[in-house]
Amino acid sequence: MTENQLVGIVPAAGKGTRLAPFPCAKELFPIGFQPHTVRGIIEQRPKVVSQYIIENMVEAGVNRILIIVGEGKQDVVEYYGDGSRFGCQIGYLFQERLDGMPSAINLAKPWIDDATVVFGMPDTIIRPTNAIKQLLEQHRDAEADLSLGLFPTDRPHKFGMVEIDNHCNVLSTIDKPQDSDLTHMWGTCCWSPAFTQLIDAFLRSQNVVQKETVLGDVFDEALKRKMRVKGYPCNTGRYIDIGTSDELNAALLEFHRDNTVGNAA
């Protein structure tokens, strides 16, 4: 695998306890609709939430995606199969212990060592549909080690907030602060092989883990090591999360107002 090859990582091992009890993997909950041809007639059929991030990755040129699954996620594997229906190749990794996002990503290390990695959450919807493509172009132009796609939010306590300077250099990150003057959260990211190696080294250095390691911890380590970390605001974009029942309800109301809404850019 060469450095200019792209691999997408989608972590789907979580149990979705904030939405429990749930009839299926939360990544397969239908949000909005998509065109589907039946006997030569195009009809609108339900579209699952994780499909939005998959399609955003494919539009960016990602043709290999690793989905990290856990216990009870066989329906995710059955739905996506080998990925051919979605214009890419999809493989699966099984996370036995749910011990944080960096550990989930590190399962993929043997397959992503020399690749540019694109990362996105399967229970979110990112707009515009080419947001990851734009981020990837900026990442390459800057020759960055790590690039964060930033979205405006007025709910800093729910997200990883990011401070940048006038040249889009990341100055600091803070995970889910109760109060913050920061206005942008990170919603997707991409990185070079150097950051893949850092994730592995960071986890190996954690001899005693007193709290669950979050990806923001590794972002901070990259800043300490003077790696080239960039943050690119998508001020006209949107980041829609369905992690709680209130957020799920809001997404359903928005995307089901019209059968065409779920396919709007």
Q: What is the pLDDT of residues 211-243, one digit of tens each?
A: 678 999 999 999 999 999 999 999 899 999 987
Token pair for residue 224? Answer: 């300490």
Domain extent listing, the chain: 6-259
- The pLDDT-based confidence of 206 (bands split at 50, 70, 90) is confident
Half-sphere exposure of 2 (CA within 13 A, CB side): 1
State the architecture of 6-259 in CATH terms: Alpha-Beta Complex (3.90)
Transcribe the chain into DSSP letters: --TT-EEEEEEE----GGG-S-SS-GGG-EEEEEEEEETTEEEEEEEETHHHHHHHHHHTT--EEEEEE-TT-HHHHHHHTTSGGGTSEEEEEE-SS---HHHHHHTTHHHHTTSEEEEE-TTEEEESTTHHHHHHHHHHHHT-SEEEEEEE-S-GGGSEEEEE-TT-BEEEEEES-SS-S--EEEEEEEE-HHHHHHHHHHHHH-SS-SS---HHHHHHHHHHTT--EEEEE-TT-EEEE-SSHHHHHHHHHHHTSSTTGGG--
Token pair for residue 60? Answer: 């960016």
Q: What is the pLDDT of residues 236-245, one digit of tens each?
A: 999 999 877 7
The pTM of this model reads: 0.91
Q: Which residue would you say has higher pLDDT here, 128 or 256? A: 128
Residue 24 has pLDDT above 90, yes or no: no
Residue 260 has pLDDT above 90, yes or no: no
What pLDDT score was predicted for residue 244?
76
Cα–Cα dist 70/59, whole Å: 27
